[in-house]
Structure formats: C-alpha cells, structure tokens
Amino acid sequence: MKKANLLIFLLLPLFCLAQSFKLKGKIASETTPLEWADVSISNSEGKIIDGTTSKQEGSFEITIKKGSYKIGISLLGFTDYEKEFTIENDTDLGTLILKENTTNLTEVVIQSRKNTIEQKIDRLVYNPENNVTTAGGDALSAINTAPGVVVQNNAINILGKGTSRVMIDGRMIELTGEELNNFLKSISASDIKNIEIISNPPAKYEAEGAGGLINIVMKKGARDSWKNTTTASYDQNKYGIYALRNNFFYNKNKFRFSASVNGKAGYRNITEALDMYFAEGPSKMKAETKLNEENVSGKIALDYDFSEKTTLGFQILKDKSNPDFDSDIRIDNYNAQNKLNNYIINESFLDRKTDNQTYNLHLITKLDSLNRKVSFDVDYFDYNSKFDRDFIANNYAADGSFVDVNQSGRNLSNQDIDNLSFKADMEHPLEAINLSYGAKVSFTNSKSDVVFYNTITGTPELDANQTNQFKYTENNQAVYISGDKKINEKWNFKLGLRLENTQTKGFSETLNQETQNNYFKLFPTFYTSYHKNENNSFSLNYGRRIRRPNFSLLNPFRVYISSNSYSEGNPFLKPSFSDNFEFAHTYKEILKTSIFLNSITDGYGVIFTANPETLTQIVSRENYFKGINYGIGETYSANFADWWQSENSLYFLGSDIKFIKDINATPVNGLQVDFSTNNTFSLGKATKLQIDFNYTTPYKSGLYDTGYAASLNIGFKQDLLNKAMQVSVLVNDIFNTSYLKEDVSIVNNVRQVYSQNESNRFARLSVVYNFGNKKINVSQRNFGNEEEKNRAR
C-alpha cells in the first residue's frame, strides 16, 4: 500500500482529475469471439467521444465519466450493433452478439480499408496488408512501405529521427545493420498484422534507439481453428533468388501453437564506386560483388492458459545464413593531369557464416477483476559470426603489363555475443490513473577476434600488429514507471520515467588495454493529446533516448575492405543521447501535420578518412558531432474513388550539425525533401493494382553531401480459389534510381565520392496459398508470441 501511495504521489498532477469509470465487455458472433471490431461511445447529443477496437478474445475496455451514453459496434461482415446505457460505477456489459451480414460486401470492404494508418497517442499504426507490393515479400520490404520510414544502406530510419531499433510484438530484436536486415528478410510480409512506428517510445521500452522504435505486430490464428500459409516467390535482378516460407497456426481451447520455416537461396549483385581526389591525382575504385543470399530460419511458439487468469508460454527462434561473396575490384590511379598512372586488380573471396538463436519464456497473470496484470520474461540470445576472407591485389602499368603483387592477405574474424535478461512488468490501473511499472536486468558478453596473415610471399605469415582478441561485457539495470489518464472527452495525458544504470568493460588482449564506462541516466517521456472536435485533434510529445555503439565497432583492430581501404573499431566510443520533441495536428483522420526536432549530444558515426601520403582510406568511428535535426511532415490518406485508395507523405527536413572533434573537415548542412505516394486500385473483387513512387532530393547533413534517390514500383495481385490463393507480380525500382549515389565527404582536404547499388531493381513472382479450418477469419488474426529480446549490435 505504501508503494502504491508513493507512485501516486510521483504522478500527482494526473490525479487532480474528474472521476471516471471503466466500461468493458466482449464482442462475439454466434460461435466465436470477434477481434478488431470498432467500438464507439456517443454522448446524449449523438457525438462520438471515445472509441477502441476489440482484442483477440473479443474484449474491450474504455474509461469514461459518469453519465448516459450509446455504444456502437461495427465489423466487416456483421450488422452494426447499438445499445444505450448509463454508467455510475465500473460496468461490465457482458458478451454482445453481432449477427452476420452478407449483403453489400464490396462497399464494406472498401470502407474497412480506410484504417490503413491509425494515429495513437504515442505511435503511428500502419497496416501493410492492402499494399500489393508487399505480397510475397518479407518484413524488410513491408517496413519500407510504411509512411515516414526509409530503408537504405543497411539502415532503417524514421525520417528526421535517425536509425531505429526494431521489435517484434514488443520484444527487441538483438541485431542491427546488415544482420538485422537479413533477419527481417526471413519473415514473411503476409504474416504481419501491422507495423507500429514509435518515434518517441514510452518508458516501458528500452531507451536504446535514438531514431525511435519500429514494432512489427504479427498475426495469430483465430480461436478454435488452424491455418497454414505457404508462400513461394522468385526475384530476378542480375541473378535470381528463390524463397519458400511456410507458417502454421493452431488455436484450440487453452492451447495456442505456431511454427514457421523459411528458406531462401540465390544471389544478389552489389556494385560500388569510390573516387578519392588527391593532390597527386584521383584514385577511382569500382567493385562488383556477387553476394550469396542463402538463409534458413525457423520459429516455434507455444502458449497455454492454465486458467482464465494465467498464461505460460515459450518461444524458440533460429536463423542461419551463409552470406559468402566473390568481389572483383579495380582501382585506377591517375596523375595530376588526369592521365592513368597504373591500376590495381583486387580479387576477394569471403566465406562467412552467421548463426543466431533466441529463447523466450514468459508468464502473464491477471491479479483481479480490475485488470491488474503482471508479466515476467526471461530471454536468452546467442549470436555467432565467422568469416574468412582471402584477397590478392595485383599492380599493373597503364599499358596493362603486370608490375608486381601490391598486397595479398587473409583476414579471419569470429564474433560471439551472449545475452541473458530478466524482465517484470506490472499494469496497475487505479481509480484516477492507469499505472504501469517494471524492471529489467540484462547481462551481455561479447568475444571477437581478428587474425591477419600476410600471404604476399605465398606462405601465410601471421601479422601480430593486425591481430587481436577483444572481450566486452555490458550489464544494464533498469526500472520504469508510467501513468496515463483520460481527463475528459478532449484531453489525454501520459507521463513516464525510465532509469538505466549501465556498466561496460572492454579488454584488448593483444594491446593489454582495458576501457571501462559506467553511467546512470534518466529518460523521461511525456505525451498529451487534445481532441478539439470531430475534425481536429492535436498532440505533443517528448522523449529522451540513447544510442549505444554496436559491439563490433568497439574492437580496435582493422578489417580490410580492399588493398587500399580498411575499417577499424574504437574501444573509446561512447553512447550518444538525443532529446526528441514532436507536435502534430490531425484533420478528419486523413491529414496529419507534424513538426519535430531532435537534439543530439556526443553523436558518433563513420568517418571516411583519406590519407594523402599513403593514398589509402581508413573507415573509422568517432564521437565527433552534436547538433539538431528538424522538420515538418504531412501525411494524407484518401479514397479518391471506390476503387482508388491513396496514402501520401511529404517531409521537409533540415539539420544543423557541428563538429566537437577535430577531424580536419567542415560540417555541411542543408534541407531535404522526401515525397512518397502509395496507390491501390481495385480492378474487381479479386484484382488489385499497386503503383508506388518515392523521391528524396539531394541533401547535406554533417559530414556528408548525398545525392537524390527515387523509386517507382508497380505490383499486381490476383485472388484465386475464393481467396485461398493469391498470385502477385511486382516490378520494383523500375528505373534503378533508389540506390545510394554521390555520397560526398571531404576529410584532410581530400574529396571522396561513394556510391552503392544493392540491386533494388528486380521483378518478383509470388504465390501464396492458405488452407485450414474455414472458421478462421484472416483479417482478425493477431500472431503475437515474441517480446523484447535484448539488444545486440
């Protein structure tokens, strides 16, 4: 009781509010509970004052003030339901039965698609199911269609925020960068219910992720049913990629089970160019890489209801990839008169294997009829990456005659990451406020080694100066408290505070060097929304975030990219912090205007340093900048006709970055415009056409001046066999203009221009086949059996 009183005191401003009561109930058909039914509450004047949607078991709950109201319920395929009631205390309406309605189905379907984007107090919810371009695709391609989200150069970014972390059903994925993208490619887009874009995450979630969080909410089988979905697809770019995915769901009485197996094979072509303009003359590199896309992944999840109040479940997830590649690199070296002096042919072969597995055990218990609920999670994550890279660089004169072997070597690396975490969350609704609080502890161990052999003589010789073993540990303890309150028909508030205490230690055995960093930080969050009238609503939010370095970036030793370029880590790299503000206005739930700003301190990033003396490039990481990013964004959703649905966004972005470390460079800042439009055309009851286009202007930010990017995608989907089968065709990035081009930086007075094309232009043919218990309602599935898996870099 003392603890509850203390928590109330900490959030005292939210307690000075009018008395409200909880209204709850369940929605069902004649046979099964109904999920995703729209529930609205109207006052005596017929004005809608609140609303929600029913959960998987058909339940709903709304907090309203004392008075007389009317409840309205609507759901695709059922007759609308209305009932008047009076509330003077917490009220349970019991089970409300909806009757099936098979008339005017086409009109209802069109109406139901209006909720492709839904704005909540702390997140934007995007439903990708209607976008034809995601058919037969994966989770990464689905994320790329979300409004305000860009996937480029192995990074997932919320526009104006920066690099984002990704969760599945509220549990953090332990991967970032290329490893994260490969994992997301193993998840079928057809199994995603919606994608939550959380630019300022609540206190419940880790503070990690300066660019916010993206939460993928998976589908789940309906009650008393089973379902199997098989997806086969073929992508054709320069090479071909085959993918086969199978997902099985079973839900009967107290038992829920799901299993998935995904496989992919084939190759992807990557082309890169790097021009460095030295005083002695330019050096121009071109590389072409054939990347192996082989991947196998699987997932098993089980939940069992021991009683109406207690559920126990576990999940096992496994992912294995062999991203080997062969790379051919040519480096042309010119003199000051721009005449070819010599060139280097660099052949590189990489044998790489990655393997990761995640285990989760969770327990959820409802404590009483007031919806107090406690949940416990234990997560274990294991990641292993091994690579063996051989390269040889031969030097040739301008006339093509062989001169000598410029460099020859073998680079081996191994990285193991283990993470164990324990988490407890409590939902504690009180009469005056909905309270939640919890705690989490995590323990991370990372071991990595880099071994380099000089093979220029033909006999491998260990180079001790380029060989290292690095150990890193990170322990984190966190507690949080959050409270939300609906004051009246117009005002909502939500406050939160998260405390994180972190201890890190890195040790280089070769250098006999140890680095430690301990820090205790507070991460407050604040949200408020004002519903002025039926047409206009406003929201304001603030949150503080942290961005921790990936483990691999802390190893101080180098890995060769080519004979004149290598990458090295920094054991002294520290986290960066950001303060994020956003104000938004929504008009008729179709037009949203948002103004945002985030302030960054101790920002870290990649620096491409060209050495004029050795004519080489060093790729390093430093805490070298601070500054602000700002912008204004518009999203517009419209049905221009019964057969045409359109989702559009327009963002104006700017930056003011300053360097806090002397890197012999001058910051550049400017404006960026990002436009996207996604259009779905219904050509009949079973046929859809999708036309998507996005464009980003050239922009300047900090160290980099980046060229434009654009993409035109056209997709077609045909439903067959009473919608049991879907056949889709997609042509992505038709004009091959979405790749990173002309990324310019000037360090040491050397201008460097980099481009990378990862074969975003491709054609895809996919077939999806569903079978199982016909009682299942695909639009009502909600596969969710993963939670926050602790982070890995």
Q: What is the pLDDT of residue 786?
A: 32
Q: Is residue 113 part of a domain?
A: no
3-state secondary structure of 403: strand
pLDDT of residue 179: 75
Q: How far apart are the first and last CA of the chain?
A: 41
What is the reported pLDDT for 629? 94
pLDDT, one tens digit per residue, over 190-245 is 778 888 888 888 999 888 888 888 898 887 766 678 889 999 999 999 999 999 99
Give per-residue pLDDT as tens, 8-46.
Answer: 444 444 333 345 788 888 898 876 788 778 888 887 666
Strand partners, 453: 410, 462
pLDDT average, residue stretch 134-151: 82
Query: Which pTM value belongs to this model?
Result: 0.80
- Asked if 271 and 310 sit in the same domain, the reply is yes
Question: Average of pLDDT values for 731-739?
Answer: 95
- Of 211-225, 277-291, 317-331, the range with the lowest mean pLDDT is 211-225
pLDDT digits 0-9 by tens, 264-275: 999 999 999 999
Please give the full DSSP string across 153-222, using - where no structure is assigned: TTEEEETTTEE-EEEETTEE-S--HHHHHHHHTTSBGGGEEEEEEESS--TTS-SB-TT-EEEEEEP-PP
Please write down the HEC assignment for all residues of 207-232.
CECCCCEEEEEECCCCCCEEEEEEEE
Are residues 357 and 274 located together in one domain of the fold?
A: yes
Same domain, 133 and 93: no
Domain around 646: 124-720+733-763+771-780
| pLDDT bracket for residue 311 (50, 70, 90) | very high
**DSSP code string of 318-357:** EEEE---EEEEEEEEEE-TTS-EEEEEEEEEEEEEEEEEE
Instruction: Give me the count of residues in the chain.
Output: 793
Lowest mean pLDDT among 1-5, 197-201, 246-250: 1-5
pLDDT for the residue 550: 84
Mind listing the pLDDT tens digit for each residue in 759-768? 999 999 999 9
Q: How far apart are CA 321 and CA 341, in angstroms?
A: 41
CA distances from 188 to 191, 236, 291, 721 (A): 6, 18, 21, 21
CB 193 within 8 A of CB 218: yes
164 domain residue, yes or no: yes
Of 307-316, 635-644, 688-697, give the range with the top mean pLDDT. 688-697
User: Tokens representing 62?
Assistant: 């709304």
State residue 47's pLDDT score: 64
User: Which of 442, 435, 463 has its CA nearest to residue 378?
Assistant: 442
CA dist 187 and 294 (Å) reads: 14
Distances in Å between the alpha carbon of 238 and those of 153, 232, 326, 413?
Answer: 19, 20, 15, 30
**Pair (505, 537) in one structural domain:** yes
User: CA torsion, points 656, 659, 664, 665, in degrees to nearest 10?
Assistant: -10
Give pLDDT, residue 101: 63
Reference 546, options 156, 122, 210; nearest CA is 210
* Nearest alpha-carbon partner for 243 in 725, 765, 772: 765
* 564, 688: one domain: yes
Of 61-65, 189-193, 602-606, 788-792, the range with the highest mean pLDDT is 602-606
Question: Distances from the Cα of 407 to the Cαs of 130, 331, 345, 455, 466, in angstroms?
Answer: 53, 13, 10, 8, 14
Sign (positive or negative) of CA dihedral 663, 667, 668, 670: positive
Report yes or no on 7 lying in a domain. Answer: no
Per the prediction, the chain carries an average pLDDT of 86
List Cβ neighbours of 189 (8 Å cut-off, separation of 6 or more).
128, 134, 135, 136, 137, 138, 139, 141, 142
Here the contacts of 585-588 (C-beta below 8 Å, separation 24 or greater) are: 585/536, 585/537, 585/538, 586/119, 586/536, 586/537, 586/538, 586/539, 587/535, 587/536, 588/534, 588/535
Last residue of a domain, one of 72, 103, 134: 103
Confidence of residue 105 (pLDDT cuts 50, 70, 90): very low
- pLDDT tens column, 573-582: 999 999 999 9
Verify that 94 and 209 share a domain, yes or no.
Answer: no
Does 12 reside within a domain? no
β-sheet bridge partners, residue 253: none
Q: What pLDDT, in 10s, does the model give residues 161-201? A: 778 888 888 888 777 777 788 778 878 787 788 888 888 88
pLDDT at 108 over 90: no
96 and 154 fall within a common domain: no
Task: Identify residue 120 by its one-letter amino acid code.
Answer: K
CA–CA separation, 231 and 137 (whole Å): 9
Point out the least confidently predicted range of 170-174, 420-424, 461-465, 501-505. 170-174
* Mean pLDDT on 478-504: 93
CB 577 within 8 A of CB 544: yes
Could you tell me the two tokens for 722? 């009473």
CA distance 427 to 438: 9
- Distance (Å, whole) CA 156 – CA 689: 27
Q: 10 Å Cβ neighbour count for 440?
A: 22
Indicate if the pLDDT at residue 375 is higher than 90: yes
Q: Which of 6, 10, 11 is nearest to 433 (CA)?
A: 11
pLDDT level of residue 650 (50, 70, 90 thresholds): very high
What CATH number has the domain bearing residue 46? 2.60.40.10
Instruction: Give domain status of residue 410, yes or no.
Output: yes
Residue range 387-400, pLDDT digits in tens: 899 999 999 999 99
- Kind plus residue range of the DSSP H or E element containing 407: strand 402-429
Which CATH number characterizes residue 330's domain? Answer: 2.40.170.20
CA nearest neighbour of 529 among 497, 490, 496, 495: 490
What letter would DSSP give residue 100?
Answer: B
Q: How far is CA 70 from CA 47, 84, 457, 669, in A?
A: 10, 4, 86, 54
Got the DSSP string for 690-740? EEEEEEE--EEEETEEE--EEEEEEEEEEEETTTTEEEEEEEESTTS--SE
Residue 56 has what pLDDT? 66
Kindly state whether residues 590 and 688 are assigned to the same domain: yes
What average pLDDT score do residues 427-452 get? 91
Q: What is the spatial distance between Cα 207 and Cα 548, in angstroms, rounded to a whole number?
A: 10
Residue 1 located in a structural domain: no
Which amino acid does the sequence have at 490? K
**Are residues 150 and 277 located together in one domain of the fold?**
yes
SS3 10: helix
- Token pair of 397 as six digits: 């004169």
pLDDT at 487: 87
pLDDT surpassing 90 at residue 714: yes
**Are 99 and 175 in a shared domain?**
no
Q: What is the pLDDT of residues 690-699, one digit of tens each?
A: 999 999 999 9
CB neighbours of residue 553 within 10 Å: 19
- In terms of pLDDT, which residue wins out, 391 or 589? 391
Q: Is residue 535 part of a domain?
A: yes
pLDDT (0 to 100) of residue 19? 59
Report the run of H or E that residue 755 belongs to, with start and end. Answer: strand 750-757
For residues 313 and 170, state if they share a domain.
yes
Quick check: 380 pLDDT over 50?
A: yes
- Has residue 135 got a pLDDT over 80? no
**Into how many domains does the chain fold?**
2
Q: Return d(Cα 182, Cα 297) in angstroms, integer.
A: 10
Q: According to the model, what pLDDT value does residue 77 have?
A: 67
Task: Work out the average pLDDT over 318-326.
Answer: 91
Q: Considering the domain boundaries, does residue 791 fall inside one?
A: no
> What strands lie across the sheet with 117-119, from one edge to the other?
117-119, 124-126, 192-198, 213-218, 165-168, 171-172
